Amino acid sequence: MSGNFGELRTNHLHSGLDFRTQGVSGKKLLSIGDGYISRILITHGSGHMLHVRYNNGYTAIYRHLSGFVSPIAERAENYQYENETWEVSIIPDSTEYLVHAGQQIAWSGNTGYSFGPHLHMDLFETESGDYVDALPFYKHLIKDTRAPVIQGIMFFPQPGQGVVNGRENRQTFIPAQMKSVEAWGVIGVGIKANDYMDETNGRFGVYIVSLSVGGKEVFRSVVDRFSANESRMIYSWTQNTYMKSFIEPGNKLRMLQAFNDKNGLITIDEERNYQFNYVLKDLYGNTSKYQFVVRGKPRSIVQPDYTGKYYLKQGKVNSISEPGLELHIPKESLYDNVLLNYNVRIDSGAIANTYQLNNELIPLHTYADLYIGVRNNIVTDTTKYYIARIGKNGQTAFLGGTYDNGFIKTRVRELSSFTVQADTISPKITAVNPGQWRNTGNVIFKIEEKETDISSYRGTIDGKYVPFGLEIMTNRIIYRVNPLKVKKRTGHTIQLVVTDKCGNQGTITMDAVL
């Protein structure tokens, strides 16, 4: 394996298992039980995908496939030609594609957002839709005698309520350094750890993390199930790659449990040693233990300046209204209260001001409505404007937006720095080795679109639609020639039109022998 269930990823919990395929595509994917194919999908993100609804109450999703087998392959291809779209979504009925254990259903691959050939398999309970761990079904086939490894501890002194080593900010320690930690007031702790297995160099998520203080368990995470909606709550559960051993008020991940009256936060209010004990387990029962002492030592706790610009409350509707800026955050968006370090940067020549809502990114669970005013109309076509998020190093990310009465409006799912930019540059299209298309059977174009992103594309051969597909990892658009649709070894006129997210179009028209 190369990935396990619930592993921490940047903005989600990994929902399935990743199986290695010896570095190649085209391994036979066999059904693991009796059931039927309940969904046939081709997407840009997950490539070729199949859902198989098994008779035992579970449904599997297989992603990044290189192709389907007959007759599913033909069904998907016909859909592409009929609907004039690369992306496919077919929901067959329960009698159309019955499968039995051991039957081949597809070929493994490396399509979509994938960093190398592998098979991704999700398993969800058909009835609840909850993702669950498929590893128990494979456990007997995999060897694992290695226990999780603890790499660091993070302290989270709570704003205005606690300090660690005399400081109000978060602090990390590697296990060997954890000699003398002093604290006072309300603090949280978190742990960084990975699990390992025999015979594979992968790093995996940890199944169970349990924290006890003074012999009493205060927190436990058991990575056994989550819904698609809960997956984003990783933003609240983790800080970088540290898993918090307390639960923020807006975090509804069912895998986390706290057993004290402070959702896992610890109150240090006596001058004595507090014994912290972590126990980590993997699915095979391999166990690691780690303990450290926090010394209670009275300290004054500095109160944050709540009279400053914006103190946003979790569980409430929050709004920000400034010249050139409106932000409306719904009730269920914030995971915790947050004091923003709001700031505006005014550049008189720019399209709009740059609004720093907070210098450190604050994730939102549901979208907030953001409006930014246009100060300098540098283009007459207002569809070219979009809201951009400005990263720490000045890099920008496209967030979309529509023009309305002097403002650009979009939805955001994090609080960060934002401004308005314009994209008037068309995607650039280049043919890749057209002299080889005839031999390889692949018509390949490379797309360059720096400002925003590709929104849509359409390719034709001799004026007729053919299903070109976008490879998001390489920004190439490829048509694999089907000789039943396109006559081989003769000249053809090939056209590709690519549109970016601000409506700028690039077109290439060329003749080639296929």
Q: Which residues bind Zn ion (CB under 5 A)?
A: 3, 18, 120
DSSP string, 152-197: EEEEEEEEEEEEETTBSS-EEE-GGG-S-EEEEEEEEEEEEEEB--
- Measured from the CB atom, is 147 or 197 closer to Zn ion? 197
What six digits make up the tokens of 142?
A: 């995999």
What's the CA angle centered on 461, arms 460 and 463, to 5 degrees? 70
- Measured from the CB atom, is 120 or 365 closer to Zn ion? 120
Q: How far is CA 260 from CA 164, 218, 315, 335, in A?
A: 20, 6, 21, 19
CB atoms within 10 A of CB 321: 9
For the CB of residue 377, give the shortest distance to Zn ion in the complex, in Å. 45
Q: Is the distance from CB of 248 to CB of 196 less than 8 angstroms?
A: no
Distance, CA of 71 to CA of 28 (rounded, Å): 16
For the CB of residue 64, give the shortest distance to Zn ion in the complex, in Å. 8
For the CB of residue 16, give the shortest distance to Zn ion in the complex, in Å. 6
Closest to 69 measured CA to CA, from 27, 23, 106: 106
Distance, CA of 445 to CA of 458 (rounded, Å): 12
- Measured from the CB atom, is 18 or 248 closer to Zn ion? 18
For the CB of residue 63, give the shortest distance to Zn ion in the complex, in Å. 7
- Measured from the CB atom, is 29 or 338 closer to Zn ion? 29
For the CB of residue 7, give the shortest distance to Zn ion in the complex, in Å. 8
For the CB of residue 432, give the shortest distance to Zn ion in the complex, in Å. 28
For the CB of residue 130, give the shortest distance to Zn ion in the complex, in Å. 17
DSSP string, 383-419: GGEEEEEE-TTS-EEE---EEETTEEEEEEEEESEEE
Closest to 411 measured CA to CA, from 309, 313, 326: 326
For the CB of residue 17, give the shortest distance to Zn ion in the complex, in Å. 7
- Measured from the CB atom, is 122 or 500 closer to Zn ion? 122
Distance, CA of 418 to CA of 316 (rounded, Å): 23
Q: How far is CA 142 from CA 62, 91, 108, 303, in A?
A: 20, 34, 20, 52
- Measured from the CB atom, is 108 or 426 closer to Zn ion? 108
Ranked by CB distance to Zn ion, the top (closest) residue is 120
Closest to 397 measured CA to CA, from 372, 378, 414, 409: 414
- Measured from the CB atom, is 5 or 437 closer to Zn ion? 5
DSSP conformational letter for 130: -
For the CB of residue 251, give the shortest distance to Zn ion in the complex, in Å. 23
- Measured from the CB atom, is 7 or 451 closer to Zn ion? 7
Strands 476-480 and 469-471: antiparallel
Torsion of CA 241, 245, 249, 255, to 10 degrees: 80
- Measured from the CB atom, is 120 or 220 closer to Zn ion? 120
